[in-house]
Amino acid sequence: MSWRTFDFALWTAVLVLGAAAAASAQSPDEQRLVDLTNEARAQGGLKPVVWDVQLAAAARGHALLMARQEAISHRYPGEADLATRAGEAGAKFSMIAENIAMGTSPGQIHGAWMVSPAHHDNLMNANVNRIGVSIIPARGALFAVVDFSEGVDIMTLTQVESVVGKAIAAKGLSLVSDASGARKYCSLAEGQPSAGLGLNARFLMRWQAPDIAKLPPELEQALAGGQYKQAAVGACASHDVGGGSGAAFTAYRVGVLLY
């Protein structure tokens, strides 16, 4: 069956069911690529990357496709992009990159990547902290996929509110117990007025980011002024601000009201 008639939706559904279980166990070749990656990063003064089961599941699905097609490509016609594939596998990340190859051994593949500027940059990215590897032997070759990401911790909305609330309380403000207004404000679409919510806050702000422990400069400035004594913090579902595949990137959305 050629890629022109291949049902990628059906194939992806089958892969998702089996890839996650397979990704939890690394083959010797896959472990070797991880070791070579971390050896190179250590020599460059970078922190090691750690195995991510969800990234590995996404990598395995794509590696199986490469082996089936007998050719390497970052994306086949009808296939989802990298960020969407990783997101569907359950990975949480603020950035993601991918190296692919068809080679004879993990050492040969790693060596080729190290002399290729684009592949080298992915492997040696200082922001990367997680890795998922899949190597599929087929037709006398190794089809390899390595997904790198800057991982994001998985938090509930309650945990998000707690993290932001603690950061604001550390500035000397007290937190109000009723966060319903802040949550409603958080959920508003961009450009939608907040007047109808009946909020009496003197300062309103909402933002979306993968690291919500770091307060935005505008909010930091408002808190430093000393004119506000209380705050309400509300978290809500993140909005797709990236258009299409941007929804796969993990970010948390927060609304803050200052009184």
Series of mean pLDDT values for 10-residue runs along the chain (259 residues): 41 46 72 97 98 96 93 92 92 94 97 98 97 95 97 91 97 95 93 85 94 93 94 91 56 95
Q: How far apart are CA 237 and CA 125, in angstroms?
A: 29
- Identity of residue 43: Q
Which residues on adjacent β-strands are paired with residue 230? 174
Instruction: Give the pLDDT confidence score for residue 148 in this predicted structure.
Output: 98
- The answer to whether 228 and 258 have CB atoms below 8 angstroms apart is yes
Cα 226 to chain centroid, rounded:
36
HSE (side-chain half, CA atoms, 13 Å) at 195: 2
Distances from the Cα of 210 to the Cα of 6, 87, 94, 119, 254, angstroms? 36, 14, 6, 25, 11
Helix (H, G, I), strand (E, B) or coil at 108: helix
Instruction: Give the pLDDT confidence score for residue 190 in this predicted structure.
Output: 82
Cα 100 to chain centroid, rounded:
19
Locus of tokens 């790198």:
148
Instruction: Give the pLDDT confidence score for residue 2 in this predicted structure.
Output: 38
Q: How far apart are CA 69 and CA 85, in angstroms?
A: 18
Instruction: Give the pLDDT confidence score for residue 17 in this predicted structure.
Output: 45
